[in-house]
Amino acid sequence: VQLQASGGGLVQAGGSLRLSCAASGRTFSNYYMGWFRQAPGKERVFVATIRWSGSSTSYADSVKGRFTISRDNVKNVVYLQMNSLKPEDTAVYYCGAVVFGRSWRVASDYDYWGQGTLVTVSS
């Protein structure tokens, strides 16, 4: 199983980025796909999640209304569209997969992780 995150970079405050997570190696139909982020010296925290099958999504309060998670089941890719970026959004962003029945908000419950992609938002 491989989750390959990409799309990070340097952007000014107020700008946008789109992260991608390419999934391969198994069927994820009974999984939630999640995005987490980890700032330097801090723990990995939940950002957004989407069911691989269906349309259910959920967001952290800090990104609600600015970030949108989506997926392309044909390409097996999960996206995180990030708009109105703020300096406090600066972090390494990780995509992960967790099987139904476990908590999609808890990083330690996740079964698979990608390698992370760095997002830096300058003020």
d(CA 120, CA 123): 10
The pLDDT tens digits along the chain (123 residues) read 999 999 999 999 999 999 999 999 999 999 999 999 999 999 999 999 999 887 899 999 999 999 999 999 999 999 999 999 999 999 999 999 999 999 999 999 999 999 999 999 999
SS3 content of the chain, % helix, strand, coil (to 5): 5, 50, 45
Burial class of 45 by CB neighbour count within 10 A (0 to 12, 13 to 18, 19+):
middle
d(CA 80, CA 83): 10
